[in-house]
A and B are shown apart, each in its own frame.
Chain A
Amino acid sequence: MSDIPKADELFKSIDYNPPATGWMETPVDFSPGNWCYPAKPEKMEYMESKLPGLWGPVREWNPGEEDWKLPANWKEIVVNGFKERLGKFRSLKVFMDICVRCGACADKCHFFIGSGDPKNMPVLRAELMRSVYRGEFTVAGKILSKLTGSRVMEEDVLKEWFIYFYQCTQCRRCSLYCPYGIDTAEMTMMARELMHLVGLNTNWIMEPVSNCNITGNHLGIQPHAFADIVEFMVDDIEEVTGRRVKAPLNEKGHEILFITPSGDVFADPGIYTFMGYLLLFDYLDLDYTMSTYASEGGNFGSFTNNETMKKLNAKMYAEANRLGCKWILGGECGHMWRVVHQYMDTMNADIQGSQMATPKSPITGTVFDTAAATKMLHITEFTADLIKNNKLKLDPSRNDHLKVTFHDSCNPARGMGLLDEPRYVIKNVCNNFYEMPPATIREQTFCCAGGSGLNTDEIMEIRLRGGLPRGNALRHVQEKHGVNTMACICAIDRATLIPLADYWAPGVTITGTHELVANALVLEEGEERKMDMRQEYLPGFEDEEDDWTPPNMEDA
């Protein structure tokens, strides 16, 4: 962290003029800080034992060294894998052929905006693959290599893939602007599938994947520890509200299975959001359970290959069946919801139990036909329906110390179309809500730069550069309206936006939407709340002990 430049210096270093050398001739920087650490061998051994043939050789290797210890036939594996995927995904096949390099996408990528590196222009990122497609699979590309921008698969090309396809967060902002809808996220997914086949991986993706498979969640929290954490949160809720909430785990015979990303279980500020869910469900006396086995909604498998995505996702239905739940309620998460919305039913509908039914709110009676196939409902849909039907007593003034803006998470925004429900919820629980500039919200939202498995500290400068567009928009409303809180509906956001805000808009805290709901929720008539969910005293209730300032801070 220490060698990361100050925000102003970093900003001044951005140059949008491309280098003098052509992109194929411009060397790639493999110095530390430009790549995520490779996966620990034991994680790969475990995954190889569960899904054999997808992971290449298990070994210790280092992207900073010359020899990446690839298998001898790596080229054959990659080229054959490429060919196979051209047949399996029309998206890939069409996107390889139809780009006209108009450049409409060029300045849409947050990594380009923050770095100026031309290979972060989506068009050029995709050319890293397209050039190989033309060189290996098309006649014209084979004959007229230079003139058509084609090249054959070489070790340097593969190494370049590793750097740049792990510098794409699959946020799809470029796809929105592309006249043909070319989606770099699809290309990145395919490139990563191919790299996995020859053992190129990152630990920050593979450790969560392997943990998720064995313990049920990314963090490898074992069931008893999970139960302990939930118990701590129940204690904290009691401290704030005086109410001892139920937090059912692994219980059979409930109507609803609740699944949220495990990021909400273990770290600030996700835990406050989790406490928000628990408080809301208890208030409603909801017939639900959580599960330690399916204690993860996030799906890091989607950052590896579609087989792993399917395997990890299947756990949700398997557990709903085992526990006899009718439908699944999903917490605030970005890529989990892209997987649930676009892939879940297609991949795993065959294991949906016959007891499962279209989600129907037991409180309001609303039937959610929009989720008739997946049987899975987003928590902001559920809560928006409650608010609309006046089922919640809310005191938004408890959030008056907060001036709130909302960060649309990329996946719900551009892979789902969930834009208005979270805003409706926030506006009903907060009196001070301000939108960031229009070009940076809703479907045009900017990524937190830590999605798709990039939320790791070894590439912090890359993340901060990628975070410039979001951070700058946040800074804008901070100055203009005094915004001090950014709400979001994604667990990765709740983790990555913190260093981003500290760097680009210091003083803004990050919160989940249901933390704000919990703050405002009036549990019983005349209830007085002195603290918010973070156990910080609300204005007017700061007690004297809490006012104590350490002597060395008096001047600050």
Chain B
Amino acid sequence: MNALYSLLFVFLLVLIPLFGVDAAHLRTFFGVCIPTTAFIIFIVGFAYKVITWGRSAVPFRIPTTGGQFKSFDPEMFPQNKLDCPQTGAQTFFRMVLEVFAFRSLFRNTAVSLHEGKDHPVVAYKSSKWLWLFAITFHYSFFIVALRHLRLFLEPIPFFVHGLEFVDGLLQIGAPTMYLTDVGLVVGVLLLFGRRMINSRVNYISYASDFFPLFLILAVALSGIYMRYYDKVDIIAIKELTMGLVTFHYHVPEAISVSFFVHVFLVSCLMAYFPFSKLMHFPGVFLSPTRNLPNDSRAKHHVNPWNDPNIKPHAYADYEKHFGVPMAEAGLPLDNPENGKAPEEEA
């Protein structure tokens, strides 16, 4: 049901610009106002959320350690520098691998239960499907987004050209098919399929898990439609996008409606981003179990709200309480008076 609601909602979103541009002639509204507003919501919302996180304290160092720590004898017990970092540089590399290679996900295993010969068996096997789906999706999306820079920059930077060249290396069709266009669509479909087929993942999925998948799929499909089927006027579009960047707003007549659908869906994605789980993108950088070195036994760290008034139960009180039996057991006392039984005092 959650998936169906989300799908219907994305269909509705597609209809809005279709009617808005063709029937209501709101070209400037959909070409300029909506994307600008969405971009502002994205930037402000994103920054607000990250700042709110940043304002919360990190009182304790709590890295999850995934290997041997730095020992007193690093040769005999070699440290796992990536999974149990001790320095800032090691932590940096741990984060780089986490962000760019999804390292924790790479370790994923799947559990299964079996009837063994004479006793049950719990088995674990490496399960890299989610890693594969996720990495296909994220890298495709990332490169597609980078390629779009050619619409917003003049002159077009060399690396964008390079990306386009590599991405279109197979030279299938005209215009040349981009591998990442396929990767993005396939990646989304695989992630969606996993959510539907894996009963446990399906059980924990909300509409807010399906909606971004469908929205991104719609963005990708509308983009593909524009490029390969509608063959939109790319010069006119660059006029509009450069206008957005330089604040000289102009909507050329040559732009067809499919472009407005694409831009509207991207705008929805931008505006939705800061309020959704998509914030895992900045969040991964702020996760205290990953971005801190494991050095709290070697170095002093400060908890900003540490309460110095919390004191241990005083030894003096302890001795007062247990002094008599302590004295009888021959344990040394700070204050010999505490060792005298009450009746002796009288």
Question: What is A's interface to B at a CB cutoff of 8 Å?
Answer: 7-8, 11, 14, 16-18, 22-23, 50-51, 86-95, 97-104, 106-108, 113, 118, 121, 123-124, 127, 138-140, 144, 146-149, 172, 175-183, 186, 213-216, 222-224, 227-228, 249-252, 292-293, 306-307, 310-312, 314-315, 318-319, 322, 340-347, 349-351, 366, 368-374, 376, 381, 384-385, 388, 413-421, 424, 437, 439-440, 442-444, 468-469, 472-473, 475-476, 479
Could you say which of A103, A183, A370 contacts B201, with CB atoms under 8 Å apart? A103
Interface flags, B310-339, vs A, CB<8A=1, else 0: 111111001101100110111110100000
- Bound CA–CA A91/B200 (angstroms): 26
CB <8 Å contact, A51 and B279: no
With contacts A216-B318, A370-B297, A416-B65 taken as known, whether A346 is within 8 angstroms of B306 at the C-beta atoms is yes
CB <8 Å contact, A420 and B77: yes
With contacts A107-B110, A223-B331, A293-B315 taken as known, whether A102 is within 8 angstroms of B134 at the C-beta atoms is yes
Q: Within 8 Å of chain A (Cβ to Cβ): is B71?
A: yes
Q: Within 8 Å of chain A (Cβ to Cβ): is B147?
A: no
CB <8 Å contact, B68 and A113: no
CB <8 Å contact, B283 and A180: yes
Enumerate 16 A-B pairs (CB-CB under 8 Å) in ascending A order.
A8-B120, A88-B56, A90-B286, A98-B279, A102-B201, A124-B203, A144-B207, A178-B104, A214-B313, A222-B325, A250-B326, A306-B59, A345-B297, A388-B73, A417-B79, A424-B76
Chain B residues within 8 Å of A251, by CB: 332
Number of interface residues of B (CB under 8 A): 103
CB <8 Å contact, A51 and B60: no
Could you say which of B57, B72, B286, B319 contacts A88, with CB atoms under 8 Å apart? B57
Chain A residues within 8 Å of B5, by CB: 147
Chain B residues within 8 Å of A14, by CB: 113
CB <8 Å contact, A121 and B313: no
- Bound CA–CA A388/B275 (angstroms): 56
> Taking CB as reference atom, which chain B residue is nearest A413?
B65
Chain A residues within 8 Å of B104, by CB: 104, 176-179, 181
CB <8 Å contact, B294 and A417: yes
Chain A residues within 8 Å of B76, by CB: 384, 388, 420, 424
- Bound CA–CA A344/B199 (angstroms): 42
Closest 9 CB pairs of A and B: A417-B69, A98-B283, A224-B329, A181-B289, A314-B312, A417-B65, A147-B207, A224-B325, A439-B124
- Bound CA–CA A215/B313 (angstroms): 9
Chain B residues within 8 Å of A344, by CB: 297
Question: What is B's interface to A at a CB cutoff of 8 Å?
Answer: 2, 5, 49, 52-62, 64-73, 76-77, 79-80, 83-84, 98, 102, 104-105, 107-111, 113, 119-122, 124, 130, 134, 198-209, 211, 275-277, 279-280, 283-284, 286-290, 294, 296-303, 305-308, 310-315, 318-319, 321-322, 325-326, 328-332, 334
Could you say which of B110, B298, B307 contacts A307, with CB atoms under 8 Å apart? B307
Chain A residues within 8 Å of B297, by CB: 340-341, 344-345, 370-374, 376
CB <8 Å contact, B298 and A372: yes
CB <8 Å contact, A101 and B209: yes
Could you say which of A16, A97, A213, A418 contacts B283, with CB atoms under 8 Å apart? A97
Chain B residues within 8 Å of A107, by CB: 109-111, 200
- Bound CA–CA A476/B123 (angstroms): 11
- Bound CA–CA A283/B76 (angstroms): 25
- Bound CA–CA A7/B56 (angstroms): 46
With contacts A224-B326, A293-B318, A370-B298 taken as known, whether A93 is within 8 angstroms of B310 at the C-beta atoms is no
Chain A residues within 8 Å of B59, by CB: 88-89, 306, 346
CB <8 Å contact, B111 and A311: no
* Closest chain B CB from A387 CB (angstroms): 10
CB <8 Å contact, B310 and A16: no
* Closest chain A CB from B187 CB (angstroms): 13
> Taking CB as reference atom, which chain A residue is nearest B74?
A370
